[in-house]
Amino acid sequence: MQDLFTEDEQMLQESVRRFMRAEVEPLVPQMQAEGEPPRSLLKRMGDLGFLGTCFDGAYGGSGASLATQAIVSEETARVDAGFDLVLFADIMLFARAIAKHGTEAQKQKYLVPVLSGDRIGAMGITEPGGGSDALGIVTRGRQENGGWLVKGAKTFVTNAPTADFFLIIARTSDEESRIDGGTWFILDRGMEGLATGKPFNKMGMRSSPTGEIFLEDVRVGEEQVLGQVGRGFHMLMDSLDVERVMVGASTIGIAQACLDEAAAYAQERRVFGKAIREYQLIQEKIANMATGIEMSRTMLYRLLRAVERGEKVTREAAILKYYSSRMLTEVSAETVQIWGGAGQLEDNKTARLYRDGKHHEIGAGTNEIMKVLIAKETFKEMGYGRK
Ligand SMILES: Cc1cc2nc3c(=O)[nH]c(=O)nc-3n(C[C@H](O)[C@H](O)[C@H](O)COP(=O)(O)OP(=O)(O)OC[C@H]3O[C@@H](n4cnc5c(N)ncnc54)[C@H](O)[C@@H]3O)c2cc1C
């Protein structure tokens, strides 16, 4: 499938793959046990230019295609999906928003240290009252003495327990249309009134710390507002398509790791006197896995090129997220099945892949929400108005 990539992208893929095998794979047991990657690993990736491949060179990026970020994500998730989730929140959610909407001062203060791997960012939308209804948030920002007071709580935020910087959305006015009246605030750890909770004990994605952010009248100046006051939900909706496409990269990375494990075991394991890969029921599983992965990967890079050309991909991004995450849930279950009893052992990677894979049917918009969106956009595309 090398025709998907330019020569530079192929070279990046090879060097990231080598780096992951040599420097990240040995750290996986430590990251799983500690629930977070070592800071030195982010710094190392920053030094190698792997964090900011698609960002502007003026802020420490390499100015390459968006597809390069997907290449890094796919290769990272193939080795440790939790670590990839840390990078997703840090780079695709936090850094990308600052790069797109930040002032020059905000980019210098927040984007540069994140792309160099010196600091970690997080983005909080989800609240204890729910995540699917993003416009239903109750965290409030109100103007006072030329600044803002932010009050509320966020939950299920990737990197919240460890992040240095937090990008959170609050409702700053009650408009008739719920999409209006949201505003983003950039907050620093250590600000008075800001606290984070303990990392959640999750079934998967254990290398990534997830938790709450508590905001008790956090006082910030106008310089902490990201983008236009009241336009926050519009900014959010504009960024969701790309984020969902990028979740596809992570999904495919985990599924590829499943296929790596499944094929190797099918080759090695002998039952009734021959390798299990010779049984057609096992071949069918491998065929289904390979088909799902290749269909998803082709769609992923096709969509990334469309995004690079500035095209709108709302419907297709939701299709990719829904299809590939479903595919991963099946692929990871079939991998455990091929491994038989050994697939049940925590010491084998298959168990981790099975636990990690489930996340992508939930995070960044659940599959139910993806299906609602796909149907809505399909009716729209076919010229049927709202009933
Ligand atoms: C490991 C992890 C990391 C995360 N990282 C972040 C992060 O960095 N930042 C952040 O802001 N959030 C993050 N999230 C939160 C995530 O985005 C939410 O969990 C997700 O959006 C779903 O929200 P919820 O959990 O509140 O489920 P709910 O919204 O309470 O939904 C519950 C169930 O109802 C279904 N449902 C809801 N509405 C409908 C409908 N209209 N039709 C049919 N079914 C419906 C849902 O699909 C789901 O099955 C993370 C979550 C996890 C698990």
pLDDT-derived band at 299 (thresholds 50, 70, 90) equals very high
Q: Under CATH, what is the fold of the domain 123-229?
A: Butyryl-CoA Dehydrogenase, subunit A; domain 2 (2.40.110)
Alpha carbons 364 and 371: distance in angstroms, whole number = 13
- What is the pLDDT averaged over residues 103-132? 97
pLDDT-derived band at 130 (thresholds 50, 70, 90) equals confident
More confident residue, 342 or 1: 342
Q: Which of 9, 127, 243, 334 is catalytic?
A: 243
Per-residue pLDDT, 1: 56
Kindly give the number of the ligand 1 atom that is closest to the alpha carbon of 124. Answer: 11
* Closest CA to ligand 1's atom 48: 366
- Write the pLDDT tens digit of every residue in 215-266: 999 999 999 999 999 999 999 999 999 999 999 999 999 999 999 999 999 9
- 156 close to ligand 1 (CB < 6 Angstrom): yes
In the chain, where the domains are located = 2-120, 123-229, 233-381
Per-residue pLDDT, 335: 98
pLDDT at residue 23 tops 80: yes
- 124 close to ligand 1 (CB < 6 Angstrom): yes
Q: Which of 161, 6, 138 is nearest to 86 (CA)?
A: 161
Per-residue pLDDT, 259: 98
Alpha carbons 61 and 55: distance in angstroms, whole number = 4
Per-residue pLDDT, 103: 98
What's the CATH class of domain 233-381? Answer: mainly alpha
Alpha carbons 336 and 344: distance in angstroms, whole number = 7
Give catalytic status of residue 192 as yes or no.
Answer: no
Q: How confident is the prediction for the chain on average, in pLDDT?
A: 97
**End-to-end distance of the chain based on CA atoms, in angstroms?**
43
Query: Measured in angstroms, how far is the CA atom of residue 158 from the centroid of ligand 1?
Result: 13
- Write the pLDDT tens digit of every residue in 36-59: 999 999 999 999 999 999 999 999
- Write the pLDDT tens digit of every residue in 137-150: 999 999 999 999 99
- 114 close to ligand 1 (CB < 6 Angstrom): no
Secondary structure (DSSP) of 277-310: GGSHHHHHHHHHHHHHHHHHHHHHHHHHHHHHTT
- What is the pLDDT averaged over residues 286-303? 97
Quote the percentage of the chain above a pLDDT of 70.
99
Q: Under CATH, what is the fold of the domain 2-120?
A: Butyryl-Coa Dehydrogenase, subunit A; domain 1 (1.10.540)
pLDDT-derived band at 344 (thresholds 50, 70, 90) equals very high
